[in-house]
Structure 1
């Protein structure tokens, strides 16, 4: 069993389940002795939206960000590729974006996990026999003086204060993909599907070239307004990529193939009338 799976099972079985209206006493600031301590030697999984925001903040390409700042953990229990922030290779293994005195140097575009801390969100799998809703929990594994501060929040107030809403909105689109019931029916991704998934989710520069410089638009019906939006806005391209993956991986009707392409395929298969 992987460490990720073990942690999830522990959270589901042992952690108190909180709602948006439950309260949290916490504050993090440079006056704490442990300031920035939680930003070292830690596994921070990056969402596609995290990668998009961080690389734009740095002004570099998706590929440059992936090569310089991420790792791709190998877990045979993980069907689709995930991305982890690469810690520095120093003895402290500090986050590459943390300055000892200034703190986070990409604070405005820091990842979802960093914004949420010390609040976590668990998403149990749903089934007809045992449907469970998402719940929040508090992570207190590491010594943190922030829990001794007097400031009190509800979980709802914390989420609003940390600017998490756009991350959650994009996260909903991503979860619609990776938690889709058809994902369970895929035993494992072959190399081609892994490449497709990674490109559409994490390497948006390459995905944009794929859409506009290959035969993609000759095959799929994509109206001019959508083309303009995905050409100009990474957020729109990311959502478009999720829909394309649902079509390509699960066969869902989220994309429309042009009629002449379908007719040509029927002829090739000897199905034309």
Structure 2
């Protein structure tokens, strides 16, 4: 499941700066935005920022009729989040054209199973902890050059038109779990020997992203897999504490 992230940091850093500014003024469900897709395929090229959640991976696996692990191996990059310190899976572009592997004649070959980030476009979605330690989901209108602005939608309407209500619920739960995992990983991962770190990341990636029966509801499986991950981390934390005595 290991893979190399494209060395395109300047583009990614510039994009993140733009998005962080937009996050200062998020959209709510009933806010409006103007956009109409021209189906040019522009949003499916030169992307290194399409992160895949376990829900996305399972939807893709079902659409492609392959196990989730094969989705990750064939179509994803696995790397450690610079800030979060948890494994992240990014959609891998074709090496020859830098296009999405599912783009064909400017259409998505897995339209009904495409990642939520693609279905949401041009909206972006993010989660943050509130002062009460709850998770709040907000949206942004991404800075894009494609499409036109002759149609007006609310965020809620856009979500409904792409059947993303289930994705919204899962995203809420996934972000809560990811934030909890991040808090624990930040305390231990940098002090681990490289080989131990690699083994831990591979195990977490397997539990969190790949260990699913795609014919069964995903949410309870995520809860189960996260419990396995917590137990593994608790064991590691105890061993580290023993070494420090």
Q: Same fold (TM over 0.5)?
A: yes
Does residue 66 of structure 2 align to residue 60 of structure 1?
A: yes
**What is the alpha-carbon distance in structure 2 between the residues aligned to residue 157 and residue 113 of structure 1?**
16
Q: Secondary structure at the match of 2:169?
A: helix
The 8 Å contact of residues 177 and 246 in structure 1, kept in 2 or not, is answered as no
**What is the alpha-carbon distance in structure 1 between the residues aligned to residue 211 and residue 217 of structure 2?**
7
Aligned to 1:25: 34
Change (3 A) 1:94 1:127: same
Aligned to 1:257: none
Aligned counterpart in structure 2 of residue 137 of structure 1, from 133, 137, 140: 140
The 8 Å contact of residues 204 and 234 in structure 1, kept in 2 or not, is answered as no
- Deviation per CA, 1:20-75: give whole Å up to 9, x if none: 11111112144xxxx11110110211111111111221111233222211112355
Q: How many residues align?
A: 216
Equivalence map 1:96-115=2 (5 Å): 96-100=101-105, 103-115=107-119
Q: Which structure 1 residue ranges, 4+ long, deviate > 6 Å from structure 2?
A: 2-6
| Higher RCO structure (Cα 8 Å, ≥6 apart) | 2
**What is the alpha-carbon distance in structure 2 between the residues aligned to residue 72 and residue 121 of structure 1?**
21
**What is the alpha-carbon distance in structure 1 between the residues aligned to residue 140 and residue 112 of structure 2?**
24
Once the 2 structures are TM-superposed, how far is the Cα of residue 106 of structure 1 from its aligned partner? 0.2
Aligned counterpart in structure 1 of residue 19 of structure 2, from 4, 11, 15: 11
Change (3 A) 1:174 1:133: closer
The 8 Å contact of residues 52 and 234 in structure 1, kept in 2 or not, is answered as no
Change (3 A) 1:93 1:9: closer
Change (3 A) 1:242 1:171: farther
**Higher Cα Rg, which structure:** 1
Aligned to 1:165: 165
Where does the alignment leave 5 or more consecutive residues of structure 1 unmatched?
206-229, 252-273
Aligned counterpart in structure 2 of residue 73 of structure 1, from 71, 79, 84: 79
Aligned to 1:183: 183
- Deviation per CA, 1:103-145: give whole Å up to 9, x if none: 00100000010011111123234456x99944221002x311x
Change (3 A) 1:181 1:119: same
Does residue 203 of structure 2 align to residue 199 of structure 1?
A: no
TM-score by length of 1: 0.68
The alignment yields a C-alpha RMSD, in angstroms, of 3.1
Larger strand percent:
2
Change (3 A) 1:38 1:182: closer
Aligned to 1:266: none
Once the 2 structures are TM-superposed, how far is the Cα of residue 80 of structure 1 from its aligned partner? 1.0
